[in-house]
Structure 1
Amino acid sequence: MKKNIGLYFGSFNPIHIGHLIIANYLAEFTDLDEVWLVISPQSPFKKKASLLENHHRYELVYRALENFDKLKASNIEFDLPTPNYTSKTLAVLAEKHPEYSFNLIMGEDNLRSFHKWKNYEFILENHKIYVCPRLGDGKINEDFQSHKNIHFTNTPIMHISASLIRDSIQKSKNIRPMLPNAVWQYIDEMNFYR
């Protein structure tokens, strides 16, 4: 049996306890053996201007995961051409790690627009997708609701966002409970988001 790896993509700018709760839930309460948090240098749908440099975001994720055996930081996309497309990342990972089976983790909001992703049919046929509930309206494509490779999870819904954390730090608000201690220390030490 191949090891079952869930890939949780994001800019993690910064990583916060909401990300950790979701990743840990999936590692503990689904058939995933590990969850890799894949730090994306640039999403095709996001502007790069507000992002911390790649190595700083990797350091934040690495520090946040140090005490979680089933959670890993991945910088696989740092060396890939931008913008990063999930289908390309999956192909590179499959080539580098034939001993693993790679699966996607996404929110319901992403599943609603999944049909717009590059090579989404190929992804769907060759990888499982673990879908986390999100608040908000919008219909999910009927084909996706009953697809054999799409698994809806009971992951807790988190109301914490990285943009809230960045804005709060800029306004000198105390948001330390929303961040793993090691992440807060690095942000504070490096004077990020101020």
Structure 2
Amino acid sequence: MKIGLFFGSFNPIHVGHLIIANHLVEHSDLDKVWFVVTPHNPFKKKSTLLDNYQRLEMVYRATKDYDKLSASDIEFNLPQPNYTINTLVHLEEKFPDYEFSLIMGEDNLKSFHKWKNNELIIENHEIFTYPRLSEGQVETQFDGHTKIHHVKAPIIELSSTFIRKSIKAGKNVKPMLPEHVWEYLSEMNFYK
């Protein structure tokens, strides 16, 4: 089974995340996409970041109606600060029959050469990128690499930061969030 790993803080997860993940799982050879909720970095002060399990709950609620999408807390128990390579090694040990690929915005390729053990990652894992409007075409040292697949997913210019600021300002963000997530945020009074 081929699993795409979509890493993020998902603070909160929004319809853009779902559109991209669903597009990738339906229009590539990925069998499933796991939303890997990245834990709060204990060395960074980030008051707007909700608790790990609250963000995991939102991802669970957002994906529960999709057979091919699911929430993952795999990084919650890994030593912090964590690196993607550590997560991949951990997943390979835990699920030896699965093949893991990374999902990222194409703009992330610009800094990929700075990632810890990036050579090892790209040697053993495919990377699926989706377009970002803000960047235009990004040229990187990885152009033409056989393990990198540029998927023409819809371009979604929607950010969790924008959603949090809008909630704080009393704006209606319901159309931007999966219904179950909107209900949870509303019920918990998050970001107000």
Q: Tell me if both proteins adopt one fold, taking TM over 0.5 as the criterion.
A: yes
Within a 5 Å distance, the mapping from 1:39-58 to structure 2 comes to 39-42=37-40, 48-58=46-56
Structure 1 position 147 matched with structure 2 position 145: yes
Give the length in aligned residue pairs.
Answer: 191
Q: What's 2:25 paired with?
A: 27
What is the Cα deviation at residue 139 of structure 1?
4.0
Q: Secondary structure at the residue paired with 1:166? A: helix
2: CA distance, partners of 1:139 / 1:177? 30
Q: Deviations over 1:65-114 (max 9, x none)?
A: 01100001000000011222100000000000001000000111111110
Structure 2 unpaired stretches of 5+: none
8 Å contact from structure 1 (residues 112, 138) kept in 2: no
Q: Secondary structure at the residue paired with 1:187? A: helix
Structure 1 position 165 matched with structure 2 position 133: no
2: CA distance, partners of 1:21 / 1:138? 21
What is the Cα deviation at residue 140 of structure 1?
2.4
2: CA distance, partners of 1:137 / 1:118? 26
What's the C-alpha RMSD, in Å, of the aligned pairs? 1.7
Q: What's 2:61 paired with?
A: 63
Query: When the two structures are superposed, what TM-score results if normalisation uses the length of structure 1?
Result: 0.94
Q: Pick the structure with more helix per residue.
A: 1
Q: What's 1:180 paired with?
A: 178
Q: Deviations over 1:148-167 (max 9, x none)?
A: 10111101110110001000
Structure 1 position 128 matched with structure 2 position 126: yes
2: CA distance, partners of 1:139 / 1:182? 35
What is the Cα deviation at residue 120 of structure 1?
0.4
Q: Deviations over 1:103-130 (max 9, x none)?
A: 0001111111100101100000000000
Q: Secondary structure at the residue paired with 1:145? A: coil
Q: Secondary structure at the residue paired with 1:99? A: coil
What is the Cα deviation at residue 42 of structure 1?
3.5
8 Å contact from structure 2 (residues 63, 70) kept in 1: yes
8 Å contact from structure 2 (residues 2, 30) kept in 1: yes
2: CA distance, partners of 1:165 / 1:57? 14
Structure 1 unpaired stretches of 5+: none
Query: When the two structures are superposed, what TM-score results if normalisation uses the length of structure 2?
Result: 0.95
2: CA distance, partners of 1:66 / 1:106? 22
Equivalent position to 2:35, from 31, 34, 37: 37
